Amino acid sequence: MTMPPDLRYAAEHAKGFMPSGEGLALFHAALKYGGQGPICEIGTYCGKSAIYLGAAARQTGSVVITVDHHRGSEEIQPGWAHHDPTLVDPRFGKMDSLPAFRTAIAAAGLEDEVIAVVGQSGRVAGLWNTPLALLFIDGGHSEEPVTADYEGWAPHVMEGGALVFHDIYPDPSGGGQAPYRVYLRALSSGAFKEVGGEGSLRVLERVGPGI
């Protein structure tokens, strides 16, 4: 199956940092695994990757739960390279990507497929008990948040389901190393094997216990 042109256009023009090739790889991973159950995304930002996932959810009859506090990860705060001043709420002086996300998902026509959960990933994970067909980890990229996302959410990936990481850079000159270290931890656990990837995106399949 291919991604519908209107949804691909919506994804490519939404705010975010995912290259088109990686987004399409995410879409195809969600197509492959989404029919087994719900899809969960950690790190929503403005909805770019949620559109890729939502397009697959529509075709597989699945649903996407996307979790984010919408106050921005470290790398998009003021003074950092990826900061977008248009996302600052002047009333509170804080980042707020939720309005941009809602606009992007509504414009794409995916409000039935994509469900936003607004809150800290770890707090939400502590309440979660539904097996996941696919988990996409793309939240905070420093050591503490990416480790917490893995520890809180990876145990919920069903056997035969997928764990997908973004921003995996084996060479430190390419980017931060925290997601790469957690990706290696997942592989060394014996619970996952790598089955695909594109650019900095890595797709792992759960093959057993051991997380």
Report how far residue 6's alpha carbon sits from residue 184's, in angstroms, rounded to the nearest whole number.
36
Which of helix, strand or coil describes residue 24? Answer: helix
pLDDT at residue 118 is higher than 80: yes
Task: Write down the catalytic residue from 28, 141, 156, 166.
Answer: 141
Q: Are 22 and 52 in contact (CB under 8 A)?
A: no
Chain-wide mean pLDDT for the chain? 94
Report how far residue 154's alpha carbon sits from residue 191's, in angstroms, rounded to the nearest whole number.
10
- pLDDT per residue over 37-64, tens digit each? 999 999 999 999 999 999 999 999 999 9
What pLDDT does residue 79 have?
67
Strands 157-165 and 132-137: parallel
Domains (range + CATH), the chain: 5-206 (3.40.50.150)
Q: Can you say how many angstroms the Cα of residue 85 is from the centroid of all Cα atoms in its chain? A: 23
* Residue 141 a catalytic site member: yes
- pLDDT per residue over 11-29, tens digit each? 999 999 899 999 999 999 9
Q: What six digits make up the tokens of 207?
A: 């093959």
pTM for this prediction: 0.94
